[in-house]
Structure 1
């Protein structure tokens, strides 16, 4: 029986290109499995369901090796489990050498294994390069003064009055935090920042 596996990195990416390629192989939608998440590991619900369903003699289509995953060791491990332990054939559509139905002799297996190693290494390298570029982009943005995360909430109108009463030990920290509608830790952090700013 033929199956197809599709992965896109997030809900913002479109899986249409992969769907078209796999449907051309005559795979019905009920045997197409789609995950919308990172390829850093194989903790993906649809992939796990597919792996449980695959049986010896089945054929799994994927469009490209990086759709299977981006972790060098895990791609090779999953390939081994599917092809050797489960007896499943795999066809990578954009890389004809990665079709386990072809060249099942020693030389064919050697070539397929070699290509798999190179491509899975390339997939992981690209993932690491993406992370590096993201980190560099964030660092550059921070250097330009770009702020990340939610903007801080404004202090409540009664904060200064409550802070003064707390500093003069007229009320306890917990009472002060409650009066301002804040957790104790948040009130204390805001109070320290406020005091530093007034000293400066």
Structure 2
């Protein structure tokens, strides 16, 4: 039996140190810990897929909490059954002792584990939905306050309109304007379209 750890955070800028500390306390070798920095909406994660190729029957997989495995109610349950029944590995959810497949192998234990798994996977997906709603609300509030997202808009020189007129009259090339204004071709054509509309 080999021990593995799986760690997931939702984005590159999030810190996985809390999960890593839990794995180190269980003496899981660093080369047996797989980390993904992406959404838990599905299981198409590069390092999770690598982990699946390593797992053999009888191995033990640790995750800190069920939402680190994923955040999709049906997918979590489907993946749990795939790992425990088809791949025949054990799973231990560190912060939920009832979700430890090494214990409670009788019918009652399986029933209790299934109930807890359903409740926690429902909570994980609900939290994902709530995060998305809060993000959308935050973006709407920021936009209402005039906060812009994305790269800052390129400032055009005061003579941009005269440069466009010269370009239209074939007195200057597009490439020359791009160099003068320090803008991309896409920005140039977008600004030309905006001039035509206004």
Q: TM class by shorter-chain length?
A: 0.7 to 0.9
Q: Which moved more, 1:112-121 or 1:8-17?
A: 8-17
Equivalent position to 2:174, from 167, 174, 177 = 177
Q: Which moved more, 1:126-135 or 1:175-184?
A: 175-184
Cα shift at 1:162: 2.8
Aligned to 1:8: 9
CA distance in 2 between partners of 1:42 and 1:193 (Å): 43
Aligned to 2:137: 136
Q: How does 1:106-145 map to 2 (within 5 A)?
A: 106-145=107-146
Question: TM-score, normalising length from structure 2?
Answer: 0.87
Task: Report how many aligned residue pairs link the two structures.
Answer: 193
Cα shift at 1:157: 6.0
C-alpha change, 1:176 and 1:193, in structure 2 (3 Å) is: farther
Cα shift at 1:77: 1.5
C-alpha change, 1:18 and 1:188, in structure 2 (3 Å) is: closer
Q: CA RMSD in A?
A: 2.2
Aligned to 1:63: 64
Aligned to 1:90: 91
Cα shift at 1:180: 1.4
| Other structure's SS at 1:33 match | strand
1:150-194 alpha-carbon deviations (Å, 9 max, x no partner): 12212256532232245xx6339xx65334126665434312323
CA distance in 2 between partners of 1:49 and 1:43 (Å): 11
| Other structure's SS at 1:3 match | strand
CA distance in 2 between partners of 1:162 and 1:99 (Å): 70
Aligned to 2:101: 100
| Other structure's SS at 1:6 match | strand
C-alpha change, 1:183 and 1:10, in structure 2 (3 Å) is: closer
Matched, 1:152 2:153: yes
Q: Which moved more, 1:115-124 or 1:22-31?
A: 22-31
| Other structure's SS at 2:136 match | helix
Q: Which moved more, 1:33-42 or 1:119-128?
A: 33-42
Cα shift at 1:109: 1.0
1:111-156 alpha-carbon deviations (Å, 9 max, x no partner): 1111111101100110110111010000011111111111221225
CA distance in 2 between partners of 1:64 and 1:187 (Å): 50
Tell whether the 8 Å contact from 1:158 to 1:180 is kept in structure 2 after alignment. no
